[in-house]
Amino acid sequence: MAGIKYLSGFGSEFASEDPKYPGALPVGQNSPQKPPYGLYAEQLSGSAFTAPRQDNKRSWLYRIRPSVIHKPFTKYDDSKYLTHNWNEQHPNPNQLRWQPFNIPLEKDGIVDFVNGLHTVCGAGDPCSRNGIAIHVYVCNGSMKNSAFYNSDGDFLIVPQQGRLKVTTEFGIMIVDPNEICVIQQGMRFAVEVDGPSRGYILEVFDGHFKLPDLGPIGANGLASPRDFLTPVAHFEDKEIKNFKIIDKYQGTLFVALQDHSPFDVVAWHGNYVPYKYDLKNFMVINSVSFDHCDPSIFTVLTCQSTKPGVAIADFVIFPPRWSVQEDTFRPPYYHRNCMSEFMGLILGSYEAKEGGFLPGGASLHSMMSPHGPDGGCFEAATNAELVPQKVAVGTQAFMFESSLSMKVTKWGEITCQKLDPKYYECWQSLKKHFNEKLKL
């Protein structure tokens, strides 16, 4: 979109000022006695002050009014299905699949991004800062005279249908399907849509997302830091009566009123920023001599736990790619895992589930619940000639993978009425092939 500008890089120190106000960024001192243009200096911290330098996250904002100018918070009841109550339902170890989640119709009235948040599953506790939640958003209208922020953790937003215009304190991001954006803890933002919109959200209560280590892959695989974009400073100086500031705090929404727009940051610098990434820029590695590469080779971002190599959450994609196989089974193998795997589909048809797994839907394979290709996929792949093949053309599937054992909410299991009771049937056609006289 014309007029939207970005800075590039990941985890670096950024600096930006509205080009109409040169010198708005103080030089050499973060909080001078009198900042340029009569602005206020305000720091947004995403880590403990004493965190090691490589982990220390903070940005300085130079704004027209400090964000402390608001009236007291009160309970906000317009979002009915956002929850962190994992005890609503009895645990369910079955393989679960959801048909595409409904987007509100015109007759339902205007539903914006915040009111359209629905929690599907999750684990842990935002109070102790350990855990995750998986939400979907379904909306048909833009946020008006309101802004949202999350005190509990970071949002990784995956649009599936509809473009998002995300206005943040740092500037504006345009996020299309097949792109993602991350809004980190405490950052205020508003979402405008240009029609019916739907997508997925991975929320982490622990730490922040980072690029995975590359190990023997070397310097140039997977997602490149330079392809992550953060907005250039852009502000509005507006007095708006009863502007709503909505805060998600300990899993509950609260609202405070103020008489001005919070998007009044004229300049900023730091390494704690919102950012976006285009999934088509991911550099895929996938040549197989035998067996099958683990999905970790498709990791875009990770939020690590305190155990080395174990993630609170990984964001993994399965993009279009050349699949070059030699004497091995091409699709994902049958599998039981000590991780939880939530999958979604942005567009196209997922290669291991050609039928009932649809864009805008989802699946959850919980810890140690077996899963893998359906019957038709197995038969076709077993008998296919192993020649180089372009797979997942016109498709983008993704996975939220977690070391935590997730529980499904009442909305996810009952209220949404999208759970497919026949999902298990996709494996029932798998035949017995054992023959004691048959030897390769």
Tens of pLDDT, residue by residue over 299-347, are: 999 999 989 889 999 999 999 998 888 888 888 889 999 999 999 999 9
Q: Which entry of 88, 260, 292, 354 is annotated as an active-site residue?
A: 292
Q: Which entry of 84, 118, 135, 365 is annotated as an active-site residue?
A: 365
Specify if 30 maps to a domain.
Answer: no
Residue 37 φ then ψ, to 5°: 60, 15
Q: Which entry of 88, 335, 354, 379 is annotated as an active-site residue?
A: 335
Establish whether 371 is a catalytic residue: yes
Encoded tokens for 6: 């970005």
Q: Which entry of 70, 118, 269, 371 is annotated as an active-site residue?
A: 371
pLDDT for position 374:
87
Specify whether 86 is located in the same domain as 174. yes
User: Whose structure tokens read 């103020």?
Assistant: 258
pLDDT digits (tens, 9 = 90+) for 135-181: 999 999 999 999 999 999 999 999 999 999 999 999 999 999 999 99
Q: What is the mean predicted confidence (pLDDT) over 257-285?
A: 97
Specify whether 59 is located in the same domain as 208. yes
Encoded tokens for 269: 């610098």
| SS3 state of residue 279 | helix
| SS3 state of residue 302 | strand
Percent of the chain with pLDDT over 70: 98
Q: Dihedral of the CA atoms 400, 405, 407, 413 (nearest 10)?
A: 60
Specify whether 232 is located in the same domain as 379. no
Specify whether 337 is located in the same domain as 266. no
Establish whether 135 is a catalytic residue: no
- In the chain, the amino acid numbered 90 is H
pLDDT for position 227:
97
Specify whether 263 is located in the same domain as 348. no
Q: What is the mean predicted confidence (pLDDT) over 217-237?
A: 94
Specify whether 206 is located in the same domain as 332. no
Q: Which entry of 341, 351, 401, 413 is annotated as an active-site residue?
A: 341
pLDDT digits (tens, 9 = 90+) for 8-50: 999 889 999 999 999 999 998 999 999 999 999 999 999 999 9
Specify whether 209 is located in the same domain as 341. no
Laid out side by side, the sheet with 58-63 consists of 14-17, 265-270, 58-63, 40-45
Specify if 370 maps to a domain.
Answer: yes
Residue at which a domain ends, from 244, 279, 314: 279
Establish whether 90 is a catalytic residue: no
Encoded tokens for 333: 């193998």
pLDDT for position 2:
52
Establish whether 118 is a catalytic residue: no
Q: What is the mean predicted confidence (pLDDT) over 109-132?
A: 96
Specify whether 384 is located in the same domain as 290. yes
Specify if 437 maps to a domain.
Answer: no
Specify whether 264 is located in the same domain as 293. no
Give the CATH number of the domain where residue 332 resides. 2.60.120.10
Give this prediction's pTM: 0.96
Specify if 31 maps to a domain.
Answer: no
pLDDT for position 437:
81
Establish whether 84 is a catalytic residue: no
Above 60 in pLDDT, residue 1?
no
Specify if 352 maps to a domain.
Answer: yes
Specify whether 249 is located in the same domain as 392. no
Q: Per-residue confidence at 261, pLDDT binned at 50, 70, 90?
A: very high
What is the pLDDT of the chain when averaged over all its residues? 93
Range of the domain at 134: 9-25+36-279
* Domains in the chain, number: 2
Specify whether 46 is located in the same domain as 129. yes
Residue 7 φ then ψ, to 5°: -105, 150
Specify whether 177 is located in the same domain as 197. yes
Above 70 in pLDDT, residue 351?
no
Q: Both ends of the chain: CA-CA distance in Å?
A: 58
Specify if 373 maps to a domain.
Answer: yes
Residue 101 carries which DSSP code? P
Residue at which a domain ends, from 246, 279, 312: 279
Specify if 173 maps to a domain.
Answer: yes
Specify if 1 maps to a domain.
Answer: no
Name 349's Cβ contacts closer than 8 Å, sequence gap at least 6: 357, 394, 395
pLDDT digits (tens, 9 = 90+) for 353-398: 666 789 999 999 999 999 988 888 898 888 888 888 888 899 999 9
Rounded CA-CA distance 167/13 in Å is 21
Rounded CA-CA distance 273/85 in Å is 29
